[in-house]
């Protein structure tokens, strides 16, 4: 296990239901593969559904968030372009109805309680469950299955998802992201510099190494 106290890290604000976050992680992975020193991910949750979320945490899909069919068609075209550019196969282009809040609660819980590598395995499994297998990552049963695959206790993860304190903590992190000026995802943070979007590996290299 790498030493989380000393390993370099790059901050990422992301939401599992964002296809560009999935693609951005692939871009980062390609940069990490070519990098001599390890670069860990310091993940921060972000809520793409914030404008549609009710006080009780549910989503009101009837709320107009300004994203019409033209927006989604353009987004789909961009996703397809980046898939080809980064050599990524995705069975799903967009995810308009899945609620990622339970997955973000579970992921933050694991991040705070388990070693980095175990969190990373769970995190990757969540992304792949949605974008490769088209599974509903808002479903506690799905998250429990993914937890088991990452050598985590499924019932512990179910309990975390149902825990109001952990949900409140994730919502607090959402607020903190907005207060820090994060308006879209993925957003990569390194030192005082940031890059937004599913930028290519060479862009991440410039962000980290200043080259």
Concatenating the DSSP letter of every residue in 117-168 gives: HHHHHHHHHHHHHHHTT---TT-HHHHHHHHHHTT--HHHHHHHHH-HHHHH
pLDDT band at 211 (very low <50, low <70, confident <90, very high): low
Q: Report the domain count for the chain.
A: 1
Q: What's the token pair of residue 99?
A: 């609620």
Is there a contact between 151 and 118 (Cβ–Cβ < 8 Å)?
yes
User: pLDDT tens digit string along 140-155?
Assistant: 999 999 999 999 999 9
The answer to whether position 166 is within a domain reads yes
Residue 2 has a pLDDT of 40
92 alpha carbon, distance to own chain's centre = 16
Q: What is the mean pLDDT of residues 50-73?
A: 88
CATH number of the CATH domain containing 200:
3.40.30.10
The answer to whether position 1 is within a domain reads no
The residue range of the domain holding 54 is 8-209
The answer to whether position 188 is within a domain reads yes
Q: What's the token pair of residue 89?
A: 């196969």
Q: 40 CB contacts (<8 Å, ≥6 apart)?
A: 2, 4, 7, 8, 9, 10, 116
Tell whether the model's pLDDT for residue 21 goes beyond 70: yes
Residue 1 has a pLDDT of 36
pLDDT band at 65 (very low <50, low <70, confident <90, very high): confident
d(CA 81, CA 85): 6
The answer to whether position 3 is within a domain reads no
The answer to whether position 20 is within a domain reads yes
In the chain, what percentage of residues exceed pLDDT 70? 97
The answer to whether position 47 is within a domain reads yes
Residue 6 has a pLDDT of 63
The answer to whether position 201 is within a domain reads yes
The answer to whether position 2 is within a domain reads no
């Amino acid at each position: 296990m790498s030493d989380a106290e000393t390993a370099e890290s790059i901050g990422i604000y992301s939401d599992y239901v964002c296809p560009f976050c999935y693609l951005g992680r692939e871009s980062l992975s390609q940069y990490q593969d070519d990098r001599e020193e390890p670069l860990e991910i310091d993940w921060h949750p972000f809520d793409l559904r914030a404008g549609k979320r009710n006080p009780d945490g549910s989503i009101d899909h009837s709320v107009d968030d300004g994203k019409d069919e033209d927006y989604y068609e353009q987004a789909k075209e961009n996703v397809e372009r980046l898939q080809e550019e980064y050599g990524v196969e995705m069975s799903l282009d967009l995810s308009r109805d899945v609620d990622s809040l339970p997955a973000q609660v579970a992921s933050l819980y694991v991040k705070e309680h388990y070693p980095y590598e175990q969190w990373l395995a769970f995190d990757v499994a969540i992304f792949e469950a949605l974008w490769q297998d088209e599974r509903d990552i808002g479903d506690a049963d799905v998250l429990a299955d993914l937890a088991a695959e990452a050598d985590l206790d499924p019932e512990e993860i179910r309990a975390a998802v149902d825990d109001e304190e952990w949900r409140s903590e994730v919502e607090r992190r959402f607020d903190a992201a907005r207060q820090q000026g994060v308006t879209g995802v993925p957003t990569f943070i390194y030192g005082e510099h940031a890059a937004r979007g599913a930028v290519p590996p060479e862009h991440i290299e410039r962000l980290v190494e200043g080259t």
